Amino acid sequence: MNQKRIYLCLAHMSGNEMKYIQEAFDTNWVVPLGPNVNGFEADLKTFVGENKEVVALSAGTAAVHLALLACGVGRGDEVLVQSFTFCASSHPVTYLGATPVFIDSEEETWNMDPQLLEKAIVDRMEKTGKKPKAIVPVYLYGMPAKIEEIMAIANKYDIPVIEDAAEGLGSCYDGQVCGTFGRYGVLSFNGNKMITTSGGGALICPDEESKRKIMFYATQAREAYPYYQHEEIGYNYRMSNICAGIGRGQMTVLDEHIAHHRHIAALYKKLLAGIDGITLHENPSSRYDSNYWLNTILLDDGLKVKGEEHAYEVAVQGAVGGAAGVTHEAKTLHTDCEPNRNVEAMRMALDKAGIESRPLWKPMHKQPVYRNNPSYLNGVSETLFRKGLCLPSGPCVTDEEVNYIVETIRESIRS
Ligand SMILES: *Cc1c(COP(=O)(O)O)cnc(C)c1O
């Protein structure tokens, strides 16, 4: 059973991707515009709601960058960003010469804590005399944030919200699609997300005018002259018509993918129920409807896992997530903030059994690169990071494999 490695979320080309790619080749539309881009954007618009506009872009990171730009973020500004996230939520703030100010999470959804958010707004205005320029909540692992409360606070202080829904495509809060609450919503179609275009992203925009503005900045900010005329700095962020062809094919199986992730979540819930010391992250109430992009578990501090004494003995070779050869070699075996030994031992046991797992994302306020950034903390994200693991959850993961994964977890616990 463990000949084939089981990955967290592997892309699955199960729609009619080839038809759209073939059409692009046949008609020589291989540039970053064309029928597939228009078709993909139209399909996304249908999915998120016809009152929104959608621009396809080269990456989710590019979508964050352009949304910030469109909100007027510039040198010397501050942006309030959820600390418990992947670095692409905050790095683009720095591209613009602005400062990410990190907000910790609440325990129910693991996303931006609305109380800390308000505290931070008041405190930043007091300390800097300026209002933060934008708020970036995240739908981490697909779980909806307390977006209604976040929007109420954002509206009270009149600060635009950019929802990072890169991991949350198809998740809903009170029946409304995540990414459609704020002024902008970010989607990602990287190889490991809910659907993929091999690499790509999109920005959900409030109206035609904002969409045109985003497209302008994504196309090198070209003015309408017969020659190249530039009055502002732009970027090369449009999506290729080839990639958009993959995206159109993937849109035909998006509902299936979402249903599959939720089915895998339900199976984990059933199978993990009998294991003491392990808690599955679940929708806190019926208002939340996660896409369960990645299923995640917490290991109690007291849980004993076989091989704990060997955790962190050797430096990781090749790092996480197919980034081997690109990542820097680890200089130390430890950092000042790392998952508990039982978590690392469980990761190693699963790895040995051919199962990919990964610690939860290390909070940005604990990243050395952001050591001097202001942050508003309650300890939640750091605790989650120390205790948590992501488990295989993608479209290629079978029921049989979930059984095998949970059995491996059970056998790795020292009784
Ligand atoms: C993947 C991801 C992004 C960035 O998307 P890319 O398409 O990889 O650039 C942004 N934010 C979060 C939370 C993500 O997980």
Q: Among 238, 253, 268, where does a domain finish?
A: 253
Q: What is the pLDDT of residue 197?
A: 97
Domain range for residue 202?
Answer: 17-253
Tell whether 277 and 212 lie within a shared domain.
no
Q: Which CATH number characterizes residue 314's domain?
A: 3.90.1150.10
Tell whether 279 and 228 lie within a shared domain.
no
Tell whether 196 and 105 lie within a shared domain.
yes
Residue 16 DSSP code: S
3-state secondary structure the chain: CCCCCECCCCCCCCCCHHHHHHHHHHCCCCCCCCHHHHHHHHHHHHHHCCCCEEEEECCHHHHHHHHHHHCCCCCCCEEEEECCCCHHHCHHHHHCCCEEEEECECCCCCCECHHHHHHHHHHHHHHHCCCCCEEECECHHHCCCCHHHHHHHHHHHCCCEEEECCCCCCCEECCEECCCCCCEEEEECCCCCCCCCCCCEEEEECCHHHHHHHHHHHECCCCCCCCCCCCCCCCECECCHHHHHHHHHHHCCHHHHHHHHHHHHHHHHHHHCCCCCEEECCCCCCCEECCCCCEEEEECCCCCECCHHHCCCCCCCCCCCCCCCCCCCCCCCCCCCCCCHHHHHHHHHHHHCCECCEECCCCHHHCHHHCCCCEECCCHHHHHHHHEEEECCCCCCCHHHHHHHHHHHHHHECC
Report the separation in Å between the CA atom of 2 and the middle of ligand 1, taken as the mean of its atom positions.
Answer: 30
Tell whether 246 and 387 lie within a shared domain.
no
Residue 351 CA to residue 358 CA, distance in Å, equals: 10
Q: What is the number of the ligand 1 atom nearest to the C-alpha of 138?
A: 13
Task: Give ligand 1 pocket residues (Cβ under 6 A).
Answer: 59-61, 85-86, 88-89, 138, 164, 166-167, 188, 190, 201
The residues near 18 (Cβ < 8 Å, ≥ 6 apart) are 249
- Residue closest via CA to ligand 1's atom 2 equals 166
Residue 347 CA to residue 353 CA, distance in Å, equals: 10
Average pLDDT over residues 330-350: 94
Q: What is the pLDDT of residue 320?
A: 61
Tell whether 239 and 265 lie within a shared domain.
no
Q: What is the pLDDT of residue 318?
A: 63
Whether 85 maps to a domain, the answer reads: yes
Tell whether 261 and 403 lie within a shared domain.
yes
Residue 406 CA to residue 302 CA, distance in Å, equals: 19
Lowest mean pLDDT among 206-215, 238-247, 331-340: 331-340
Inter-CA distances, 57 with 22, 32, 74, 302, 367, Å: 21, 9, 21, 45, 27
Candidate from 79, 89, 93, 243 with most ligand 1 atoms within 8 A of CB, to mutate: 89
Whether residue 317 has pLDDT greater than 90: no
pLDDT band at 315 (very low <50, low <70, confident <90, very high): confident
Q: What is the number of the ligand 1 atom nearest to the C-alpha of 89?
A: 11
Tell whether 85 and 219 lie within a shared domain.
yes
Whether 1 maps to a domain, the answer reads: no
Tell whether 161 and 208 lie within a shared domain.
yes
Report the separation in Å between the CA atom of 53 and the middle of ligand 1, taken as the mean of its atom positions.
Answer: 20
Q: What is the pLDDT of residue 319?
A: 61
Q: What is the pLDDT of residue 2?
A: 47
Report the separation in Å between the CA atom of 3 and the middle of ligand 1, taken as the mean of its atom positions.
Answer: 30
Report the separation in Å between the CA atom of 224 and the middle of ligand 1, taken as the mean of its atom positions.
Answer: 32
Which helix (H) or strand (E) covers residue 401, if one does?
A: helix 399-412
Mean pLDDT value across the chain: 96
Tell whether 243 and 281 lie within a shared domain.
no
Q: What is the number of the ligand 1 atom nearest to the C-alpha of 192?
A: 1
Tell whether 196 and 319 lie within a shared domain.
no
Whether residue 1 has pLDDT greater than 60: no
Whether 7 maps to a domain, the answer reads: no
Torsion of Cα atoms, 331 then 334 then 339 then 345, to 10°: 90
Q: Which CATH number characterizes residue 131's domain?
A: 3.40.640.10
Q: Total structural domains in the chain?
A: 2
Lowest mean pLDDT among 2-6, 68-72, 153-157, 289-293: 2-6
Whether 237 maps to a domain, the answer reads: yes
Report the separation in Å between the CA atom of 200 and the middle of ligand 1, taken as the mean of its atom positions.
Answer: 9
pLDDT 10s digits, 102-128 = 999 999 999 999 999 999 999 999 999
Q: What is the number of the ligand 1 atom nearest to the C-alpha of 190?
A: 7
Q: What is the number of the ligand 1 atom nearest to the C-alpha of 88?
A: 10
pLDDT 10s digits, 218-252 = 999 999 999 999 999 999 999 999 999 999 999 99
Tell whether 186 and 206 lie within a shared domain.
yes
Candidate from 112, 190, 195 with most ligand 1 atoms within 8 A of CB, to mutate: 190
Average pLDDT over residues 6-18: 93
Report the separation in Å between the CA atom of 165 and the middle of ligand 1, taken as the mean of its atom positions.
Answer: 8
Whether 143 maps to a domain, the answer reads: yes
Q: Among 204, 238, 253, where does a domain finish?
A: 253
Q: Among 222, 253, 284, where does a domain finish?
A: 253
Q: What is the pLDDT of residue 146?
A: 98
Residue 234 CA to residue 218 CA, distance in Å, equals: 6
Closest CA to 187 of 214, 221, 149: 214
**Please, what sign has the CA dihedral across residues 247, 252, 258, 264?**
negative
Report the separation in Å between the CA atom of 89 and the middle of ligand 1, taken as the mean of its atom positions.
Answer: 7
Tell whether 246 and 259 lie within a shared domain.
no
Residue 86 CA to residue 165 CA, distance in Å, equals: 12
Whether 370 maps to a domain, the answer reads: yes
Whether 162 maps to a domain, the answer reads: yes
Whether 130 maps to a domain, the answer reads: yes
Report the separation in Å between the CA atom of 19 and the middle of ligand 1, taken as the mean of its atom positions.
Answer: 27
